[in-house]
Amino acid sequence: MLNDLTQEELLPRLQTLVYLLAAIAIAILMYDQYRQGLYSLVLSNAIAIPAFIFSGIYIYINRNREHFSRINYPLIITLAGLALYQLPRYPELMTHYLYALPLFSYFALPLTAATIVNIVTALLMVVLLWVDFGFARALRTGVNYSLLLGSAWCFAYLMLLKIWSLKRLALTDQTSGAYNRRHFFNTLEREIARSEHSRQSVSLIGLAIDDYRQLIDIHGNRVMSQFLPRFTANTQQMIRAGDEVFRLGDDLFVLILPHCAEDGAIVLMERIKRSLQQQTWKPFAEISLSAAAVGLLQGEDARDVEKRLLSKLKKQKRASLQLAAFSE
């Protein structure tokens, strides 16, 4: 079940579970405080229980939308403010309460926002302890909090890098650096849906490297693996910021051009083809490309427009071979 959920779907469910567990943990802590006669602390901590429960319910209800992050900001700020308010009266308890804030906040908030909240909390905590208990106590507590904050930040940053790396591995072709076939269909379906809503054109450009297998046989896989990233990078430099390059096969690259009609795509295709063929690609003497461009037709889905592009590109290859044979 969990394997079928994406990260965006799994995160709000995990946050809901953690918030409910936090509410249970605070309830157990309140019982212990009640037995010790800390009644004012029991009442103040009681505010956190409905806050956690309400936040968990809100996030679960909005789990399929991106609104759940709105509840995390006031929740974290309220919990930190509540602990800081009780800090002068219960320094030991509230200090340990605040020590849990870095890890909890990095779980609930984005990296930058959680860092800002923790730095502000640390400064206020040090100031309050300095005023009421002296510089030595404030310095010791600030250093301990800074160590916890640094550890939590490093862990959150490494997890963020891991997520970025996994996304990159999932979406890109490792040899060429272009996006892969799976991401191609997701992107094209998104652009088709957007074009139906906004009535804007979407076009595709197909670029096929002629004699790809022959180039590998002559120069080897290692040379080709060095050539493909340069080919992708040079292609990306000649397209607009919103356009994207995909590798659908060994020799096949496809460009998705949002807000571009077919006639504009044809002009861009000719410019890209001419520029790539005129460049020097060591150790190749030259490369030859077959190219085709199609615009999205009404009622087409991603498979239909891809099939039409490949059919047109195949005809273009056949025409190029016939022209070469005739010229010889």
Q: What is the pLDDT of residues 88-132, one digit of tens each?
A: 888 887 887 788 888 778 877 888 988 999 999 999 999 999 998
Q: What is the pLDDT of residue 254?
A: 94
What's the confidence (pLDDT) of residue 82? 83
Element (H, E) at 244: strand 244-247
Write out pLDDT tens, residues 270-314: 999 999 988 888 888 788 898 999 998 888 888 999 999 999 988
Query: What pLDDT, on the 0 to 100 scale, is given for residue 208?
Result: 92
What pLDDT is attached to residue 63?
A: 63
Domain boundaries in the chain?
A: 2-171, 181-327
Q: Which of 248, 245, 262, 246 is nearest to 195 (CA)?
A: 262
CB-based contact 309:292 (threshold 8 Å): yes
**DSSP H helical segments within 110-134, as ranges?**
111-133
Q: What is the pLDDT of residue 322?
A: 58
* In contact, 72 and 22? CB cutoff 8 Å: no
**Alpha carbon of 164 to those of 104, 143, 172: distances in Å?**
21, 31, 12
The DSSP element (H or E) to which 256 belongs, if any, is strand 252-258
Q: What is the pLDDT of residue 199?
A: 82
pLDDT beneath 70: ranges in the chain: 1-11, 40-41, 43-45, 47, 58, 61-69, 320-328
* CATH tag, 181-327: 3.30.70.270
Q: Any residues with CB less than 8 A from the CB of 105 and at least 6 apart, and which?
A: 76, 114, 117, 118, 152
Q: Give the distance, in angstroms, between the CA of residue 75 and the centroid of all CA atoms in the same chain.
A: 24
The SS3 call for residue 186 is helix
Give the phi and the psi of residue 258 in degrees, each rounded to 5: -70, 150
pLDDT at position 3, please?
A: 44
